[in-house]
Structure 1
Amino acid sequence: MKKVSLAFLIFILGLQTYAQGITDPIKPNILFIFADDQMFNTIGALENCPVKTPNLDRLMNNGVSFSRAYNQGSFAPAVCVASRTMIITGGYLWTAATFSRKGNASNDHNAPGNNPRYEIPFKKPEKYWPEYLKEAGYDTYMSGKWHIGEVSPNDVFDNVKDIRPGMPNQTKERYSRTFERDKADTWSPYDKELGGFWKGGKHWSEVLADNGISFLTQSAKSENPFFMYLAFNAPHDPRQAPKKFVDMYPLDEIKVPENFIPEYPYNEYAGAGRTLRDEKLAPFPRTEYSVKVNLQEYYAIISHMDEQIGRILDALKASGKADNTYVFFTADHGLAVGDHGFMGKQNMYESSMRVPMIMSGPNIPKGKTVDSFVYLQDIMPTTLEIAGLKKPDQVDFNSLLPLATGKVNTSNYPVVYGAYFGTQRMYRTEEYKMIIYPTANKVRLYDMKNDPLEMKDLAENRDDYKVVLNTLFREYKILQKRMNDPVDVEEAFENFMAGVPAPTLRTK
């Protein structure tokens, strides 16, 4: 009798196991699409946006858009290196700096001449983003821009194809442009003979879309969930696109930014001066015409990239897996293109610090906008939660799911932190933004509610805003300690408040 009961028990347990196996939901797929250098207000569905992006509009209407998503800045001139190290490891800026040998400014020969030196020892992170997901049963795939020097994508992804460098090759013609209406241009964004994005014969954005479509076709036959990391080099310079996309944006219809100025007064102290590569993309002093040409090509390559994103989204739908796939879109940082006289992203203004960020997928509301402060690197722990993983100790950023689904309405970040090397610091609250240039003894203050374009520096009247400035700096020091920020800017702040002039700028 006991033998019969035992056999019956085993039979019942087997049925339960089988039933559980056929009712357990399949883990959701994750598609991460990463742009390079895309400012926050370049999605066509946004009000007064001149850029045509029907496919990103479609994604935005089908999911949640985070209107105030930020990057924390950089420990290297290549801001993308810091941003990508943060997202691949989950660590805040100065934690990520320990995971990158470029985090040590004392060994960086590209550091600004007046950049305060700091030593950050290198250490290997416990795991990288795709390694966590592989342990959860995901097939992982990566194609496109990598630019994280301490690890090869081949070591952390199952499948890798067409890894690209930090940016396509530049040409002398691109840097020597005259930017004068009555002179022949030495550069054409659709001349395939000039290389850059056209190197190899097919535009790199199109190659990336081809690769993504190929993997989606392959994944349709697999029972495993997938994690796809598709990283465009677009819209990074040299901003090249087929002629039909450039023709979509006539120069006479392009407006220069309202906060355009010919040259930023503290750019050399900020480490974002005339010798920085990004800033060589237009002449000094800036002209409105040069900004318009840069914007024309910037808008064109975004629209071309959008077309490729549409192809990827269509392939996802054709694979039959769209309903069980979370799609994320963002960029590693923004870009100035004339904002405050800058051309690059090595500054603390909104156009460079903020990015577009969209999330869609199962149980995600459609057409919703979240206005809370978030960081773009929050995508990484969001995917870990989607995969059913507990957030590792190494990960500083936070899941977006509670905000996206409406379970909470309060951000994990009441304020936003920003930094660039030892030459810039930023503290952003709902009401104010404070920017500090320690090597210039300079502090700037903006009323972000009444002056979102950051055009009126309230700190010019420091006596009238003494209480505000002191309060913000006191709060900043607390956050600085939490961020393990190695650069002390207190002396510079005190010098500014006391009216001490900027020291002589050291040049290399």
Structure 2
Amino acid sequence: MSPGQKPNFLFLMADQLTAFALRMYGNGVCRTPNLDRLAARSTRYANMYCNFPLCAPSRVAMLSGRLPSAVGVYDNASEFSAEVPTFLHHLTLAGYNTILSGKMHFVGPEQHHGFQERLTTDIYPSDFGWTPDWREEIPIAPTGMNMRSVIEAGECRRSMQIDYDDEVVFRGVQKLYDLGRLHRDRPFFLAVSMTHPHNPYVSTRDFLELYRTEEIDMPRVGPIPFDQQDAHSQRLWYMFRQDEYDLDDAHVRTARHAYYAMVSYVDAQVGRLLDALSAMDLDESTVVVFTADHGDMLGERGLWYKWVHFEPAVRIPLLISVPGRRLAAVRHELVSLVDIFPTVLDLAGVHVPDDALPALDGRSLADGLGVQQNDTTGVVYGEMNGEGAHAPCLMVRKAWWKLIVADSDAPQLFDLQNDPHEQRNLAGKSEVREVERQLVALAGQKWDATGLHQAILQSQARRRLIQQTRLTGDFPAWDFQPFTDASRQYVRAGAQSSPSVVKGKLRYPPVEPVAPQRPRAPSTSRAIK
């Protein structure tokens, strides 16, 4: 990359990928050769968290650099307001071409949020149909989610998610080819966001056969008896109707087997995208980021999916590979998705005046890239205000301590250094009273829990009314509809579609077009003598 040149960005995102499924985070089973080769030239963050263990709010945190509740997003059916700046708006102002292929789960009529171009539709609804209702004593999953994803896990020939991600990656690869051939004059930010390995836990035979059944590891913490579970986990038990299903070890192993196969599918797609980047000679000028929106419990404690602040649901991978820095490094400070906003702008060399930027909850990680760091410094914050909660469920982690609090639920305090699987709740113990006091104070400084509770209830009521209206009347859908202009593809008139450009370079020297000359008409004038 030449001096002064702005880097490109290839931003790769998986859905519901827990860090604990990856070899680079200590898993000895899952096979991810392409992610491993990316990690070999990246800075890996060992303590990376999502700020909300649900798809849409987590992505809002990443794009806005702020906790979801700070911008009025509370669950998977909260509108992401068009007036909230994302780092993509700032990249656009700096001359970047911003492109999205795949899932970002935008809710509301604004379906770009700073992406100038979208290559695919989204996979989940953009309306208010998944709005929770905290008035219910026993929560109901608006999505209809239950334990069938576990009971019916295993092999499939095709799935909706495979169809979707195949298209997402295909279009991402093709866009890399186009960017390398025709648009090298502008830096780009290309996000390729898959829906794997989100449940249902099914995969095709070729990926399942990468693993033997007997090598699939089981959860480190088995099911916890109902009367010993925390209140939030008990509500999720009813929400997913776990009492209606007879789940045994074979189901658990099969579901985890399929999940690992889905992770290997993600890995294969990452390989295709990295190969396309290299084929177009873009790998030396492109920052590559790999992360996820949240994790998956995968049967730990008898829990599945996300919706909780336990480590498997909130710990996610983060790899950042920067051109010119080929040595791997591992950093252990506490970081989260809100840090992506300032980090991307910092790496892009984009300075935003303080008066043009709302107070961010994240910080730039750019200065630490390539530098080993072993201390668990910093603080991360998390929210869980969706279905299954009855009040804002808030998380603070500082150093090795994690606090989870919610009105009407007993607090939970864990020492992750000595109890990494969160089996001993130390809240209320005299020996950690000062630690608990400090974390409670941090939560009080970050949130007005009572005011947030009221704001969420009011938002839910408004959205239920609007969704009922939309279902009753005849309104246009908010879902993004991609449009392909075939007149600009392949061999067409005009220099922009010239087939002479390959691998980002001209095969032959350009020839300036010459305007055709009109034949001269014979002169009819007579010479004057």
| TM range, smaller chain | 0.7 to 0.9
Do 1:282 and 1:291's aligned partners in 2 also have CA atoms closer than 8 Å? no
CA distance in 2, matches of 1:178, 1:40: 20
Other-structure match for 2:519: none
- Alpha carbons 1:53, 1:302 under 8 Å: kept: yes
- 1:123-202 matches, within 5 Å, as 124-150=82-108, 152-154=110-112, 156-166=114-124, 176=148, 179=151, 188-192=154-158, 195-198=159-162
| Match status 1:428 vs 2:397 | yes
- Once the two structures are superposed, residues 344-371 of structure 1 have per-residue CA deviations (whole angstroms, 9 ceiling, x without a partner) of 2111111111101100012445221101
Listed as ranges, the gaps of 5+ residues in structure 2 are 126-141, 386-390, 454-529
Decide whether aligned partners of structure 1 residues 270 and 403 sit closer, same or farther in structure 2, where only a CA change above 3 A counts: same
Match in the other structure for 1:39? 18
Q: Is the 8 A contact 1:73 1:420 kept in 2?
A: yes
When residues 372 and 71 of structure 1 are mapped into structure 2, their CA distance, relative to the original with a 3 A threshold, is same
Partner residue in 2 for 1:258: 220
- 2:177 corresponds to which residue? 217
Question: Is the Cα–Cα contact under 8 Å of residues 430 and 449 in structure 1 kept in the other structure?
Answer: no
- In 2, distance between residues paired with 1:384 and 1:23? 19
The verdict on how the C-alpha distance between 1:99 and 1:48 changes in structure 2, with shifts beyond 3 A counting, is closer
Letter in 2 for 1:397: G
Please tell me whether the aligned partners of residues 99 and 150 of structure 1 are also in contact (alpha carbons under 8 angstroms): no
**1:482/1:46 CA distance change after superposition, 3 Å:** closer
Q: Do the aligned partners of 1:89 and 1:125 also contact (CA within 8 Å) in 2?
A: no
CA distance in 2, matches of 1:225, 1:282: 53
Contact 1:263 1:286 in 2 (8 A): no
Query: Which residue of 2 is the match for residue 62 of structure 1?
Result: 41
- What is the CA-CA distance between 1:378 and the residue it aligns to? 1.3
Aligned ranges for residues 264-283 of structure 1 at < 5 Å?
Answer: 265-266=228-229, 269-270=232-233, 272-276=235-239, 279=240
Amino acid at match of 1:335: D
Q: Residue in 2 aligned with 1:414?
A: 378
Answer yes or no: is 1:244 the counterpart of 2:173.
no
1:96 maps to which residue?
71
Confirm whether residue 290 of structure 1 aligns to residue 248 of structure 2.
Answer: no
User: Which of 369, 377, 386 does residue 404 from structure 1 map onto?
Assistant: 369
Distance (whole Å) between structure 1 residues aligned to residue 103 and residue 308 of structure 2: 22
Q: TM-score, normalised by structure 2?
A: 0.72
3-state SS of paired residue (2:236): coil
Q: CA RMSD in A?
A: 3.3
Question: Could you say which residue in structure 2 is the equivalent of 1:15?
Answer: none
Residue deviations 1:290-324, cap 9 Å, x none?
22111111100110111011000000001111111
For 1:99 and 1:434, how far apart are their aligned partners in 2?
Answer: 20
Q: Please tell me whether the aligned partners of residues 329 and 371 of structure 2 are also in contact (alpha carbons under 8 angstroms).
A: no
Q: Does 1:469 align with 2:438?
A: no
Indicate whether 1:53 and 2:28 are aligned: no
Which consecutive residues of structure 1, in runs of 5 or more, have no partner in the other structure?
A: 1-21, 105-121, 180-185, 490-508
Q: Deviations over 1:357-402 (max 9, x none)?
A: 1000124452211011000231222111122222452233111112
State the alpha-carbon separation in 2 of the partners of residues 81 and 449 from structure 1.
31
Percent identical among aligned pairs is 25
Change in Cα spacing, 1:263 to 1:332, as seen in structure 2 (3 Å) is farther
Q: Which amino acid in structure 2 is aligned with residue 211 of structure 1?
A: R
| Distance in 2 of aligned mates of 1:171 and 1:92 | 24
SS at match of 2:432: helix
Distance 1:333 1:267 in 2: 21
Distance 1:128 1:99, change over 3 A: farther
CA distance in 1, matches of 2:82, 2:117: 22
Q: What code does the residue aligned with 2:94 have? A: A
| SS of match in other structure, 2:22 | coil
Partners of 2:254 and 2:224 in 1: CA distance? 15
Displacement, 1:239? 3.0
Task: Return the alpha-carbon distance in structure 1 between the equivalents of residues 204 and 367 of structure 2.
Answer: 41
| Equivalent-residue separation in structure 1 for 2:35 and 2:93 (angstroms) | 31
Residues 280/61 of structure 1: CA separation in 2 closer, same or farther (3 Å cut): farther
Distance 1:268 1:51 in 2: 32
Change (3 A) 1:252 1:159: same
Q: How does 1:267-416 map to 2 (within 5 A)?
A: 269-270=232-233, 272-276=235-239, 279=240, 284=245, 286-364=247-325, 366-391=327-352, 393-394=357-358, 395-406=360-371, 414-416=378-380
TM-score using structure 1 length: 0.75
AA aligned opposite 1:40: A
Distance 1:162 1:448, change over 3 A: same
Relative to structure 2, which stretch is displaced further, 257-266 or 314-323? 257-266
How far is 1:439 from its partner? 2.2
The answer to whether residue 87 in structure 2 is matched with residue 87 in structure 1 is: no
